[in-house]
Amino acid sequence: MGITTKRTFRVKSIDVKFPQPIVIINEDDAREFGIASGNVVLATIGDVYHSLIVMTSKTLAQRSECVFPLELMSKLGISEGDVIGLRLIGLPQSIYALKKRLKGEKLTEGEFLALIRDVVAGMYGEAEIAAFLVSQLYNPLSDNELSHLIKAMVETGVKVKFEETVYDIHSIGGVPGNSKVALISVPIVAAAGLLIPKTSSRAITSPAGTADTMEVLARVDLAVDEIVEIARKVKGTLAWGGRLNLAPADDIFVSIERKLAIDPEQQMVASILSKKLAMGVERLVVDIPVGRGTKVQELKDAESLASIFIKQAGLLNIAIKIAITYGGQPIGTSVGPALEAREALRTHIEKRGSRSLIDKAIMLAGLIIEMSGRAHPGTGVEVARDIFLSGKAYEKFKQIIEAQGGNPNTKPEDIPVGKYTFTLKSPTEGAVTYIDNTAIALIARACGAPYDKGAGVEFHAKVGYRVNRGDPLITIYSNSETRLDDALVLLREHQPIVVEGMLVKTLP
């Protein structure tokens, strides 16, 4: 516990890529220093501390040398030959807060801050973080604890300041085809004169995140000052939030949750609200899609999640509205970055298209416009629809594309999609009765989405459509023939779209 002797070392580079902040020192130095391979040290670089994992070597590091991987050097802003101090550290002080939590005791605001600060500083391994998250499955945080956690997550990252009220719309996701909704709703909101500097994630387990889809049309890896500048100029952004260091504890939590395939409800709320608070969001609409094959399968679970959002937003001074939306089949007629970007652009230009896409985008935009006071309660949807149909939303979308370094005059037909395709035809006359979200996502990913931007699935029919035998149902796209073949195997195994004829059976 606590900090012991400090030693100084000369920085030397090595071209290895380590997945963690690992450095190498000489074995004899390590022995004198009293540390073993795998110990954590604090490096003083300028006025800032960074925790590093030390490994030892007889030959890679000479006496008094500390060998850094090149990537780590550039991340820490140090150069060959720099002199840095290393201090051996024991368990971080905040471990006592984790112990308290595991014993079932409540933590204070200060304890959450200490714990999260050490998480962000890299002082904990996966075991401690997993313990913190798993404890929530069994012993939920109190409302006050959850708000302390969220505030701590915000405090330990970058906080962006804007001069006017910040609005945002966030979908918890989980339904294929949803990534393009923001490409319509955000321009509507910005065109209404509201500031909506939206940052989104890339797909993790889905075929496309909003950032992946927007990237087909413009740059999304914007720096914080670019986002501020663009939002000032055109009111809206559609950027990637991944490298902005907003609530960085969340990224650490998410990586462990993924390993364990757990998704604690409270942590989901903390994840979303911390990122929003870090961006200075004051008014927020949260979309919770419900239905088979989405994150939230039952209405009652959506309501439970909504009540946590509402409670926390209240404690954190965010005005919030929750939209529980139908997620039982994909949104719009496409799944995959390029296909969805094309659909969004075509919808803007033609002012018509899939109702599931247009109605959802307009509804979400309408809710936030009502929260701004620029529309009376109950009329937000009409205001949003006018902005969409008048072409002001498309104008705004072009401004955002241009501000983010894209070509505002891109036409839907200019967007390249997968060059290998396969079209599934209806085996019978009847009506589409079911589309399997999970299978569609699996097939689109097998085609190569989101990394292959042109990969994905397009729908010629959706639930309720009447089809004749031989009519096309879906087309799958890929830029790799092998991947298309893999996807075809899944297509046959999973039957992601079901057509049922009027005649069910004949007797005898």
Rounded to the nearest 10°, the torsion over CA 378, 380, 382, 386 is 170
Task: Collapse the DSSP code of 50 into the 3-class scheme (helix H, G, I; strand E, B; otherwise coil) and give the result.
Answer: strand
Cβ atoms of 449 and 335 within 8 Å: the answer is yes
CB of 341 to its own copies, least distance (A): 26
Q: Which of 138, 161, 505, 506 binds its own copies (CB under 8 A)?
A: 138
Rounded to the nearest 10°, the torsion over CA 30, 34, 37, 38 is -130
Query: Amino acid identity of 106?
Result: K
Establish if 37 lies at the interface with its own copies (CB under 8 A). Answer: yes
Return the range that interacts with its own copies (CB under 8 A); candidates 2-10, 122-130, 205-213, 337-345.
Answer: 122-130
71 vs 500, beta carbon nearer its own copies: 71
Indicate the burial class of 273 (C-beta count within 10 angstroms; 0-12, 13-18, 19 or more). buried
Nearest-angstrom CA–CA distance, 179 and 199: 12
102 vs 158, beta carbon nearer its own copies: 102
Establish if 434 lies at the interface with its own copies (CB under 8 A). Answer: no
Task: Collapse the DSSP code of 339 into the 3-class scheme (helix H, G, I; strand E, B; otherwise coil) and give the result.
Answer: helix
> In terms of Cα–Cα distance, which of 343, 335, 344 is closest to 441?
335
Cβ atoms of 326 and 364 within 8 Å: the answer is no
Pinpoint the alpha helices (H) of 164-264: 181-191, 210-214, 224-234, 248-260
Q: Which of 28, 32, 80, 126 binds its own copies (CB under 8 A)?
A: 126
Torsion over CA: 439, 445, 446, 452 (sign): positive
CB atoms within 10 A of CB 73: 18
Establish if 447 lies at the interface with its own copies (CB under 8 A). Answer: no
Return the range that interacts with its own copies (CB under 8 A); candidates 115-123, 132-140, 402-410, 447-455.
Answer: 132-140
Q: How far is CA 491 from CA 63, 214, 464, in A?
A: 60, 27, 21
Torsion over CA: 349, 353, 359, 364 (sign): negative
Return the range that interacts with its own copies (CB under 8 A); candidates 130-138, 188-196, 305-313, 484-492.
Answer: 130-138
Q: Which of 102, 158, 204, 299 binds its own copies (CB under 8 A)?
A: 102
Q: Which of 233, 259, 352, 466 binds its own copies (CB under 8 A)?
A: 259
Number of residues that bind its own copies (CB under 8 A): 40
Q: Which of 45, 60, 121, 488 binds its own copies (CB under 8 A)?
A: 60
Catalytic option among 143, 263, 301, 486: 263
Peptide bond into 472 cis (omega under 30): no
Q: How far is CA 87 from CA 10, 19, 29, 362, in A?
A: 14, 22, 13, 56
Establish if 507 lies at the interface with its own copies (CB under 8 A). Answer: no
147 vs 479, beta carbon nearer its own copies: 479
Establish if 14 lies at the interface with its own copies (CB under 8 A). Answer: yes
Establish if 2 lies at the interface with its own copies (CB under 8 A). Answer: no
Establish if 131 lies at the interface with its own copies (CB under 8 A). Answer: yes
Establish if 501 lies at the interface with its own copies (CB under 8 A). Answer: no
CA 341 remoteness from chain centre: 18
CB of 157 to its own copies, least distance (A): 22
Establish if 125 lies at the interface with its own copies (CB under 8 A). Answer: yes
Nearest-angstrom CA–CA distance, 405 and 408: 9
Q: Which of 10, 27, 326, 410 binds its own copies (CB under 8 A)?
A: 27
Segment 407-426, which members bind its own copies (CB under 8 A)? none
> In terms of Cα–Cα distance, which of 115, 112, 134, 133 is closest to 124?
115
Q: Which of 23, 72, 76, 98 binds its own copies (CB under 8 A)?
A: 98
Cβ atoms of 59 and 74 within 8 Å: the answer is no
Return the range that interacts with its own copies (CB under 8 A); candidates 91-99, 163-171, 175-183, 221-229.
Answer: 91-99
* Enclosing H/E stretch for 74: helix 70-76
Establish if 57 lies at the interface with its own copies (CB under 8 A). Answer: yes
Q: Which of 10, 18, 386, 425 binds its own copies (CB under 8 A)?
A: 18
Active site residue 263: yes
223 vs 260, beta carbon nearer its own copies: 260
CB of 97 to its own copies, least distance (A): 12
CB of 129 to its own copies, least distance (A): 7
Q: Which of 42, 45, 121, 137 binds its own copies (CB under 8 A)?
A: 137
Return the range that interacts with its own copies (CB under 8 A); candidates 58-66, 168-176, 399-407, 469-477.
Answer: 58-66
CB of 256 to its own copies, least distance (A): 5
Active-site amino acid positions: 263
Residues that bind its own copies (CB under 8 A): 14-20, 24, 27, 36-38, 55-60, 95, 98-99, 102, 125-131, 133-135, 137-139, 256, 259-262
